[in-house]
Amino acid sequence: MTNARKFLEVKDLKTQFNTPEGTVYAVNGVSFDLKEGETLAVVGESGCGKSVTMMSIMRLIQIPPGKIVGGEVVFRDTDLLQLSEEAMEQIRGREIAMIFQDPMTSLNPVLTVGKQITETLRTHTPMTQEQCRARAGALLELVGIPDPIKRLDDYPHQFSGGMRQRVMIAMSLACTPSLLIADEPTTALDVTIQAQIIELVKELKKNVGMAMIWITHDLGIVAGLADRVIVMYAGYVVEEAIVDDLYENTLHPYTLALLQALPRADRRRDQSLKSIKGSPPNLLVEPRGCPFAPRCEFVREKCIAENPALVNVETNHKVACWVDVKTGALR
Amino acid sequence: MTKYIVRRLLQAIPLLLLISLILFVLMQNATDPLATMGGRTPTKPEDRARLTRQLGLDKPIYIQYLYWLVGNDWAKTDLDGDGVAETYGTRHGVIRGDFGTSIVQTGRPVTKVIGERLPNTLILMLTSEVIIVLGALLVGVYSALRQYSFFDNLLTGILFVGYSMPIFFIALSTMYIFSVNFKRWGLPYLPTVGMFDPKIGETPGQIILHMILPVFSISFISFAAYSRYIRSTLLEVLGQDYIRTARSKGLPKREITFIHALKNASLPIVTVVGLDLPLLLGGAVVTERIFAWPGMGRLFIDGIDRGDTPVVMGILMMIAVSVVVFQILTDIVYAWLDPRIRFD
């Protein structure tokens, strides 16, 4: 997998929103890459720019108020940000598919599930109506929906939340995309259903061989799912590591704090969970210095003055921090 | 579904009875048919008394309502005023389809009087409604897709001017421009009053020509409300998650707008149209008056002016019934548009 060529490369992506209150600096120069077949997890608290990054890659940001102000999204040697809207439509659904957080609102309530799956096929493939329907049935079966052909004529409200997310997954897989972006697909589901959906996606990913970006704010599910993790804060990538490295050799104070806030089975019960002090950053202010500095327990004068760049400090492990959290010394 | 429709129709019966009772009482208190009957010649007191007895106005109001509702052919009335009720009435009552006879157009059945006017009003109002809904859909969808663009702002401006103007002003201004001044300038001008030129006769071409100004006046006023409503409804739908999903699937914009968005946005639009349609039967009171269009609106106003209770009650009940019917129709269209709504 390490030798696979990069097929998605995001370079210095910047997205902002113009609101009546001022400019929201949502994504501030995010860079990462993805190899074919790889799974990347994107972690961070609500409002840290995870979703906006992915929506920018898909060019699904509402313009206005949103605007992608800079950067490149190179997908298979093409910069997606330079494509025409029509050319981008050819990428969406066919090459890069996306599943969303809330299956209750992400499906159109007045169209049958069958219609919503087949329209992707009809847009991107020369298949006939019957072939599309057969394929849609097969997809529903693939994601474990019983009696699939019959359920094609049902409407979203006739499915439970978990089943709807399965439908969303089936829909995204319709054209066997080479990249699936999952934007917190299990957040709105209860824990048992969550586990089922994660298992399903892992299984499907193995069979289809697609790459995947999985957005989550739950570090607990990342370990069993991803090859690599990036941690985002206030529209910046603050740490990037192989998944095991991130847990065993945490380099950024924010990641460290996130991990300490996570309940663990192997921790003593009388030990209370640590929350991160302060509140999430105000994205309306153009950031100066490290955005995490006001909440950081390792904060130094330098942190307030200058924002650290994301640099390789160990093999395949990048971090954006002036301080070495293990020694407490400045880098 | 059938069961639901039947239940709704049955529920409508007591409602309509209540409406008719209220309207009847209000009408009786609002006008005195006798006061307007005589015309220029003063009515003799004994004539007045005879007419009062003939019209049943000497009876208490609940008896009058009863006669209006079920007729009086089963009850004897004292017509000659000798204190002995000896003559059977001739009315069959509304529930047997007899709305009585017009007082102004002496002796002509109300159904016939209304029947003459209804087509004139329908042709005027339905044309306007079709223009309003189709035009507003075009403008509303355009404005929603190009929110805050130059044309969106321009249209918003024009429509608000239209919305803020009273209809008589628009009617008279258009008359002044397209009839009076166009004639003065030697341009082809539009007719101002009536449905057709008596010299040419009631041809379709004449009716269309005479319809232009009234239809324009009626449409211009409602256009703003409709198109703004469609615009805001569509904008709300376009912000929904499922539209983002549709975009993420790479569907063309046209398909997203007209299949995914408009089908969802059509629900509230259907509600408004469903509420407006029955009121079209009542005609446009002001417009019909200004353009001397022989429709329901004029009939209604004339009826109230001259105390023609049977005609006015007939018009009001027709509107009441169609409101109920259109409400049920709207519900049926709802169920057809939105699979989440089921009435069984």
- What is the distance between the alpha carbons of residues A98 and A222, in angstroms, rounded to a whole number? 18
Q: Determine the average pLDDT of the residues in A257-264.
A: 80
Q: How confident is the model at residue A1, as a pLDDT?
A: 41
Give the highest mean pLDDT range of A147-156, A257-266, A272-281, B97-106: A147-156
Interface pTM, i.e. ipTM: 0.86
Q: How confident is the model at residue A2, as a pLDDT?
A: 43
Residue B201 has pLDDT above 60, yes or no: yes
Smallest Cα distance from B340 to chain A, Å: 7
Q: How confident is the model at residue A3, as a pLDDT?
A: 44
Residues of chain A whose C-beta is under 8 A from some C-beta in B?
58, 60, 62, 85, 88-94, 97-98, 100, 102, 105-112, 119-120, 123-124, 155, 157, 168, 171
Q: Determine the average pLDDT of the residues in B192-209.
A: 85
Facing residue for A60 by CB, picked from B248, B263, B340: B248
Q: Determine the average pLDDT of the residues in B69-89.
A: 79
pLDDT band at B19 (very low <50, low <70, confident <90, very high): very high
pLDDT digits (tens, 9 = 90+) for B291-344: 999 989 989 988 888 888 889 999 999 999 999 889 888 888 888 888 888 766
Give the burial class of A57: count Cβ atoms within 10 A of its Cβ; 0-12 exposed, 13-18 middle, 19 or more buried.
buried
pLDDT digits (tens, 9 = 90+) for B99-132: 888 887 878 899 999 999 999 999 999 999 999 9
Residue A250 has pLDDT above 50, yes or no: yes
| CB within 8 Å: B242 and A107 | yes
pLDDT digits (tens, 9 = 90+) for A198-238: 888 888 888 888 899 999 888 878 888 888 999 999 889 99
Strands annotated E in chain B:
76-77, 87-88
| Whole-number Cα distances in Å, B7 to A65, A117, B14, B96 | 49, 38, 12, 22
Question: Which of chain A's residues have a Cβ under 8 Å away from the Cβ of B338?
Answer: 109-110
Q: CB-based contact (8 Å) between B254 and chain A? A: no
Q: CB-based contact (8 Å) between B342 and chain A? A: no
Q: How confident is the model at residue B158, as a pLDDT?
A: 87
- Residue with tokens 């920018």, as numbered in its chain: A56
Q: Determine the average pLDDT of the residues in A82-106.
A: 89
Instruction: Give the containing element (helix H, strand E) for A248.
Output: helix A243-248
Q: How confident is the model at residue B40, as a pLDDT?
A: 54
Q: How confident is the model at residue B60, as a pLDDT?
A: 86
Smallest Cα distance from B279 to chain A, Å: 30
Residue B37 has pLDDT above 70, yes or no: no
Q: How confident is the model at residue B161, as a pLDDT?
A: 86
Comparison of pLDDT for A119 and B106, the residue scoring more: A119
Q: How confident is the model at residue A70, as a pLDDT?
A: 86
| Whole-number Cα distances in Å, B152 to A19, B144, B230, B280, B290 | 20, 8, 13, 29, 33
- Mean predicted lDDT score pLDDT of chain A: 86
Residue B22 has pLDDT above 60, yes or no: yes
Nearest-CA neighbor of B191 among B202, B173, B178, B204? B178
Domains of chain B: 2-96 (no CATH), 110-337 (1.10.3720.10)
Sign of the alpha-carbon torsion through B168, B173, B179, B184: positive
- What is the distance between the alpha carbons of residues A103 and A202, in angstroms, rounded to a whole number? 19
pLDDT digits (tens, 9 = 90+) for B256-282: 988 899 889 988 888 888 888 888 887
Q: Determine the average pLDDT of the residues in A94-113.
A: 90
Q: How confident is the model at residue B246, as a pLDDT?
A: 92
Q: How confident is the model at residue A323, as a pLDDT?
A: 84
